[in-house]
Structure 1
Amino acid sequence: MKIRAYAKVNLALDVVRKREDGYHDLEMIMAPITLHDLIYIEKIDHGIQITANTNRMPTDQRNIMYKVAQLLIERYQIPYGVKIHIYKHIPTQAGLAGGSGDGAAVLKAMNQIFQLNLSLETLADIGKEVGADIPFCIYEKTALVKGIGEKLEFISKDFHCYVLLVKPKKGVSTKKSFGMLDLKNAEHPPIMDMKEAIENNDYQGVVKCLGNTLEEPSLKIVPDILKIKEEMKELGFDGALMSGSGSCVFGLTQDQELLEKGYQFFLNRYAFVRKTEILNKDSLKL
Structure 2
Amino acid sequence: MKIRAYAKINLALDVVRKREDGYHELEMIMAPITLHDLIYINVIEEGIEIESNSTIMPVDQRNIMYKVAVLMKERYRIKKGIKIYVYKHIPTQAGLAGGSADGAAVIKAINKLFHLNLTNEQMAAIGKEVGADIPFCIYQKLALVSGIGEKLSFIDQSFECKVLLVKPKKGVSTKKAFSSLDLSRASHQDCHLMAKGIEENDYQAVISNLQNTLEKPSIKMVPEIEMIKQEMIKIGFDGALMSGSGSCVFALTKSDEILDKGFKYFKGKYYFVRKTEILNQNQLVD
TM-score category (smaller protein)? over 0.9
SS in 1 for 2:184: helix
Partner of residue 281, structure 1: 281
The aligned runs of 1:26-37 (5 Å cut-off) are 26-37=26-37
1:261: Cα distance to partner? 0.6
- For 1:74 and 1:83, locate their aligned partners in 2 and report how far apart those are by CA, in whole Å: 16
- For 1:65 and 1:264, locate their aligned partners in 2 and report how far apart those are by CA, in whole Å: 34
- For 2:153 and 2:131, locate their aligned partners in 1 and report how far apart those are by CA, in whole Å: 18
Seen in structure 2, the aligned counterparts of structure 1 residues 51 and 285 have a Cα distance that, compared at 3 Å, is closer
> Is contact 1:8-1:32 (8 Å) kept?
yes
1:285: Cα distance to partner? 5.6
Q: Are positions 1:203 and 2:203 aligned together?
A: yes
- For 1:188 and 1:14, locate their aligned partners in 2 and report how far apart those are by CA, in whole Å: 6
Q: Are positions 1:90 and 2:90 aligned together?
A: yes
The aligned amino acid for 1:109 is A
- For 2:113 and 2:285, locate their aligned partners in 1 and report how far apart those are by CA, in whole Å: 22
Partner of residue 52, structure 2: 52
In structure 2, the gaps of 5 or more residues are none
Q: Deviations over 1:121-143 (max 9, x none)?
A: 01100101110000000000000
1:26: Cα distance to partner? 0.1
- For 1:189 and 1:243, locate their aligned partners in 2 and report how far apart those are by CA, in whole Å: 15
1:247: Cα distance to partner? 0.2
Report the RMSD for the aligned CA atoms in angstroms.
Answer: 0.8
- For 1:248 and 1:284, locate their aligned partners in 2 and report how far apart those are by CA, in whole Å: 23
Partner of residue 143, structure 2: 143
The aligned amino acid for 1:35 is L
- For 1:102 and 1:189, locate their aligned partners in 2 and report how far apart those are by CA, in whole Å: 30
SS in 2 for 1:141: coil
> Is contact 1:189-1:210 (8 Å) kept?
no
> Is contact 2:4-2:285 (8 Å) kept?
no
> Is contact 1:43-1:82 (8 Å) kept?
yes
The aligned amino acid for 1:71 is L
The aligned amino acid for 2:37 is D
The aligned amino acid for 2:236 is G
- For 2:75 and 2:176, locate their aligned partners in 1 and report how far apart those are by CA, in whole Å: 33
The aligned amino acid for 1:201 is N
Partner of residue 153, structure 1: 153
- For 1:133 and 1:26, locate their aligned partners in 2 and report how far apart those are by CA, in whole Å: 12
- For 2:98 and 2:279, locate their aligned partners in 1 and report how far apart those are by CA, in whole Å: 15
The aligned amino acid for 2:233 is K
- For 1:82 and 1:285, locate their aligned partners in 2 and report how far apart those are by CA, in whole Å: 22
The answer to which of 187-196 and 23-32 deviates more is: 187-196
For these two proteins, the number of residue pairs brought into alignment is 286
SS in 2 for 1:39: strand
Q: Deviations over 1:163-215 (max 9, x none)?
A: 00000000000000000001011111220100000001111110000000000
TM-score by length of 1: 0.99
- For 2:115 and 2:284, locate their aligned partners in 1 and report how far apart those are by CA, in whole Å: 23
Partner of residue 119, structure 2: 119
- For 2:162 and 2:38, locate their aligned partners in 1 and report how far apart those are by CA, in whole Å: 21
1:263: Cα distance to partner? 0.3
Partner of residue 177, structure 1: 177
- For 2:182 and 2:285, locate their aligned partners in 1 and report how far apart those are by CA, in whole Å: 43
- For 1:274 and 1:189, locate their aligned partners in 2 and report how far apart those are by CA, in whole Å: 28
- For 1:187 and 1:81, locate their aligned partners in 2 and report how far apart those are by CA, in whole Å: 47
The aligned amino acid for 2:9 is V
1:56: Cα distance to partner? 1.1
- For 1:92 and 1:65, locate their aligned partners in 2 and report how far apart those are by CA, in whole Å: 14
Partner of residue 16, structure 1: 16
In structure 1, the gaps of 5 or more residues are none
SS in 2 for 1:194: helix
- For 1:57 and 1:132, locate their aligned partners in 2 and report how far apart those are by CA, in whole Å: 19
TM-score by length of 2: 0.99
- For 1:80 and 1:114, locate their aligned partners in 2 and report how far apart those are by CA, in whole Å: 9
| TM superposition outliers: structure 1 runs of 4+ over 4 Å | none
